[in-house]
Amino acid sequence: MTPAINSAKKAKIEYFLHQYEHDSGNSSYGLEAAEKLAVAPERVFKTLVVKLDTAELVIAILPVNSMLSMKNVAKACGGRKAEMADKAQVQRSTGYVLGGVSPLGQKKSLKTVIERSAQQYATIYVSGGRRGLEIELNALDLQTLTQASFASISQ
């Protein structure tokens, strides 16, 4: 069990777990998940930790086959500029290692924004809290659990 799974379980939402054998030589964790689970990459979402110009950390959730627009995520979260948080900040604030960062069950509750394209699918996939584990759930359930907003944050 991971904190992400415990969070979904505690909330009593409908979810499905999917496991696959992570290849330690593969650094594109999200695309690897899509490929190994035979799911369209548009439905597999990565969780990124971003630092705003206000020094606030925020969570951006977007499809693994898209790039994050720093300008759009900053605007969606009330900042002017944004940059990727460093690895140590990510691990400290989320409790997860890179490649296994889940939007669920994080150590600290951070402002969260989900790419609005998630709303067009019955379910999406996000990290289950470790490499090789994905949680499939409804985007609205994810929004509720993370108190997120939806916005166009992809380039």
Residue 27 has pLDDT above 80, yes or no: no
DSSP element (H, E) containing 135:
strand 133-137
Nearest to 102 by CA among 46, 153, 57, 33: 46
91: pLDDT confidence band, cut at 50, 70 and 90? Answer: very high
Residue ranges of domains in the chain: 3-151
Residue 128 has pLDDT above 90, yes or no: yes
Query: For residues 52 and 58, is the Cβ–Cβ distance under 8 A?
Result: yes
DSSP state at residue 20: -
- Which amino acid belongs to residue 86? D
Backbone conformation region of residue 80, classed left if phi is above 0, alpha if psi is from -120 to 50, else beta: alpha
Write the CATH number of the domain with boundaries 3-151: 3.90.960.10
pTM: 0.95
